[in-house]
Structure 1
């Protein structure tokens, strides 16, 4: 649990026009901060499970402040989703939380498909 700082996170989540909520979720997952993951997932930025299935690269097409895309960048790969990251980190409690929230791994598009 270490430096989880749940109270600070909850205070910050009350602010309007939050940016980089996706980065915050990925960071909490990578640090195994279960309570912070739950708090972030209860934020209005996650009204539907689609946010949990899109990668930062796909999310960029929808809005530009959910993940960090500036000179500082993000510490995570642009093709990783929360459920894939948590599977890599082997944090089974968070996997369960994300699955209950509707997170799924989308089937990759056929590599040999001729579509654009």
Structure 2
């Protein structure tokens, strides 16, 4: 096969990966969101009622329109999309913004009425245990909350945003706990349980989180270190490699 033919094949393969599962309208919509074309994004949303456009569609990498607008930091488009996308799409995009350290965008999202309404609804329903969520987010495990992710990145500003909104990180139960919840999780997926415990402890060990959430960060650090040393004796995941 000639190099020219190879180039055509590679380009065709890339186009297929991008367009697979998307209508032409959805492809144009996602591209406009990334480029920050407010006119096309607005028109696509207005036409979505009568067209085949799914405003919550994602590309082959699992990125929705808001995700793409965050990547290119198009604030006007972000505001428009927050008015129209589902809470699940907004929540996924929020985690992406946290991972990028986009403090201004994180603030815009969590203060938007649609996000606050979705958060309130989730709270009224008891929150739902993310551990048993069947469909994981495209980029993050289902047990990763915005505050846990912000703590993983040790981002003081973003951690403070969520603490001021009464978000918390719950300390995992002891590994030997025989409460119904722990037994159910262990039987359901022991590896997933270990991963969620590691994610929680990694967040709890964040210097920024401890400094902002504890009345005595030094004592909290000492106690957490002792606890993790004990855990390392019974849980191999906590041992230093």
State how far apart, in whole Å, the 2-side matches of 1:22 and 1:59 are. Answer: 17
Structure 1 residue aligned with 2:156: 92
Larger relative contact order (CA 8 Å, sep ≥ 6): 1
Q: Give the conservation status (yes or no) of the 8 Å contact 1:6–1:35.
A: no
| Larger helix share, 1 or 2 | 2
1:41-98: CA deviations, max 9, x gaps?
12222237949xx6982484xxx8xxxx37xx51112222211111111211111111
Q: Give the conservation status (yes or no) of the 8 Å contact 1:49–1:101.
A: no
> Residue 102 and residue 49 in structure 1: after superposition, are their counterparts in 2 closer, same or farther (change >3 A)?
farther
State how far apart, in whole Å, the 1-side matches of 2:145 and 2:77 are. Answer: 25
2:99 to 26, 30, 40: 30
TM-score of the superposed pair, with normalisation by structure 1 = 0.71
Structure 1 residue aligned with 2:169: 105
In terms of Rg, which structure is larger? 2
Which stretches in structure 2 are left out of the alignment for 5+ residues? Answer: 1-70, 181-241
TM-score of the superposed pair, with normalisation by structure 2 = 0.37
Structure 1 residue aligned with 2:118: 45
Q: What's the C-alpha RMSD, in Å, of the aligned pairs?
A: 3.2
Which stretches in structure 1 are left out of the alignment for 5+ residues? Answer: none
